[in-house]
Amino acid sequence: MPKTIEEINEKISSGKAVVFNAEEIIKVVKSKGLKRAAAEVDVVTTGTFAPMCSSGAYFNVGHTNPRIKLGGGSVTLNGVPAYTGYAAVDILLGATAMQLDDPLNSIYPGRFVYGGGHVIEDLVSGKDVKLVARAYGTDCYPRKHLETWIRLEDMNEAVLFNMRNAYQNYNVGVNLSDHVIHTYMGILQPRMRNATYCSAGQLSPLLNDPYYRTLGMGTRIFLGGGIGYILGPGTQHNPCAPRTDRGVPRMGAGTLSVRGDLKQMNPRWLRGASITGYGVSLAIGIGVPIPVLDEETLFHTTVTDADIFAQVVDYSEAYPNCVPGSLGEVTYAELRSGSIRVQGKKVPTASLSSYARAKEIADILKGWILQGKFFLTRHVESLPSVESGLGPRPLVERPVANGPAKAG
Amino acid sequence: MAQMKLVLQFPANLIEQPITYQLIKKYDLMVNILGARITPREQGRLVIEISGRKKNLDAGLRFLEEIGVGVEPLARDVMWHEERCIECTACTSVCPTGALSVARPEMRVTFNHEKCIACELCVPVCPYKAMEIVSK
């Protein structure tokens, strides 16, 4: 008997909802069978905690007296530039923005000690952050300089706003060259002496609903320790990536765009990351509840690490030069065991995504639902899925000397 | 029994002499090599844990100083800031001694200070500055 979101919410409000995390549900379905479990279980909770670079936050810092128009001017927060191309006191800060005087990779490999991700973590921790602004001055906004301390609680609005999070699966990074390389997949030792991966596998949100049947615009989620919402597909959303028989993508596929009130969030689930030789990012905790609407939804949540494959990619030559193909396919069960075999060689593995924290997130979300503090929402628009034909395209460069293409 | 962790600096003229052998054979000391970096014809740096009877240890250290080996206590220590660690496991595959390890299948990260040789490989690998070198 299919269930509706409304029926599940009634059970949550009467304290009768049956909830398991995406790891527990595997055993539950094994012992009860799909049919009985689908009738009994209401929600499966998922989680992920990893660096997600396409993240950021926007703020309304409030009006000064006399007024200043930050829009079109320049603003830094603890020395990290924010984007000012909005109205008078609205600014946007990206996770990967760097302090203006950072040596970056000019002393290789750069340490990238402090950037946008760290500013967001500091604000969420309740710390004072130094705001320095220059403006050009107008008749209605005469002020040209501003230098002040500011905290999250001082701001009118502070919103985490991420273009691309929660990648459905990802590459396994290795290095075939004869020298160490520094990548967003971490430090990769020469001649494939290590491999890194970045997914919570069987706990990861989109791997538990591979065709995006239960989520979309308006889905309420755990975001950074507070409540957030899915806005729609993230950038580079790629539902048409190759899939296994049970529908699980074999490589990076779907993505989410999310937002949430930064004032509710917690630095345990929002952490600035300094990736040696690469840059700054923001590690974000995301948990998505999957309503068990029918047997098919439940079936997809029983995915195990042994069912999820990832492609091993060389980050010394193939990745930087967009050479397609893979050095081999491995499962998350193998990756989590501590070593994989690639082309006959045993390679030690390490993760950039925290499985332990992903499970903690799934359990927190489960707790919220069991306590009647978190209700499910019905999404108002689905994410594009396999039938959409959508996929990211590369940038085709056209010589500027040839002039712009004719419109139409 | 006395025990200490030391950094030995070998000048170029001593690199080819079997000094560790003498510490063991002549002074009856247990020498555990924690780390070694030797540049041929230039210099060598050896990090050791050395133990034995107090009298022998003192005599062994005197011997090292007399022949020109620089002897310093291992002054650096690695600290694991547990509250900064997100347990991603990135550090565990570079740690040569297993001081940083993963408990499977829970994937929880632990740091065993006893096993750490202060090689510092984990420091640049951690994006969250959870591993720090501190001077003792």
pLDDT tens, chain A, 408 aa long: 689 999 999 999 999 999 999 999 999 999 999 999 999 999 999 999 999 999 999 999 999 999 999 999 999 999 999 999 999 999 999 999 999 999 999 999 999 999 999 999 999 999 999 999 999 999 999 999 999 999 999 999 999 999 999 999 999 999 999 999 999 999 999 999 999 999 999 999 999 999 999 999 999 999 999 999 999 999 999 999 999 999 999 999 999 999 999 999 999 999 999 999 999 999 999 999 999 999 999 999 999 999 999 999 999 999 999 999 999 999 999 999 999 999 999 999 999 999 999 999 999 999 999 999 999 999 999 999 999 999 999 999 999 999 999 887
**B86 lies within 8 A of chain A by CB:** yes
Per-residue pLDDT for B34 more than 90? no
B82 and B68 within one domain: no
**B107 lies within 8 A of chain A by CB:** yes
pLDDT at A258: 98
A240 labelled catalytic: no
| Nearest Cα residue in chain A from B123 | A276
| Nearest Cα residue in chain B from A352 | B88
B45 and B108 within one domain: no
Q: How far apart are CA B109 and CA B118, in angstroms?
A: 18
B64 and B42 within one domain: yes
- Name the domain count of chain A: 2
**A352 lies within 8 A of chain B by CB:** yes
A188 and A149 within one domain: no
Of A111, A194, A353, the CB nearest to B88: A353
Residue A299 lies in a domain: yes
Per-residue pLDDT for B38 more than 70? yes
Among the candidates B73, B107, B125, a domain finishes at B73
A63 and A18 within one domain: no
pTM of the model: 0.90
Per-residue pLDDT for B76 more than 80? no
B115 and B88 within one domain: yes
Q: How far apart are CA A247 and CA A303, in angstroms?
A: 10
Q: Compute CA distances A343 → A77, A192, A340, A350, whole Å.
A: 48, 10, 10, 18
- ipTM tops 0.90: yes
Q: How far apart are CA B37 and CA B31, in angstroms?
A: 16
In angstroms, what separates the C-alpha of A197 from chain B's closest C-alpha? 9
B37 and B9 within one domain: yes
CATH number for B44:
3.30.70.260
B53 and B81 within one domain: no
**B103 lies within 8 A of chain A by CB:** no
Whether B87 sits inside 8 A of A357 (CB atoms) is yes
Q: Nearest-CA neighbor of B92 among A337, A400, A396, A359? A: A337
At A174, list the tokens. Answer: 């290795």
- Split at pLDDT 50, 70, 90, the class of B136 is low
- What's the whole-number mean pLDDT along residues B70-91? 90
A151 and A214 within one domain: no
Contacts of residue A351, defined as CB under 8 A and 6 or more positions apart, other chains included, come to A196, A197, A198, A335, A336, B88, B89, B90, B107
Q: Compute CA distances A145 → A60, A82, A221, A234, B8, whole Å.
A: 17, 16, 40, 37, 57
Positive or negative, the Cα torsion across A296, A298, A302, A308?
A: positive
In angstroms, what separates the C-alpha of A326 from chain B's closest C-alpha? 22
If contacts are CB pairs under 8 Å, which of residues 192-221 in chain A contact chain B?
Answer: 194, 196
Q: Which structural domain, as residue segments, surrounds residue A106?
A: 59-159
Q: Which structural domain, as residue segments, surrounds residue B86?
A: 77-135
B119 and B97 within one domain: yes
A369 and A292 within one domain: yes
| Nearest Cα residue in chain B from A347 | B93
A254 and A225 within one domain: yes
- Name the domain count of chain B: 2
Token pair 């989680």: residue: A47
Task: Please give the mean pLDDT across all residues of chain B.
Answer: 89
pLDDT at A1: 67
A357 and A330 within one domain: yes
**A111 lies within 8 A of chain B by CB:** yes
Residue A324 lies in a domain: yes
Q: How far apart are CA A385 and CA A240, in angstroms?
A: 7
Among the candidates B46, B73, B100, a domain finishes at B73
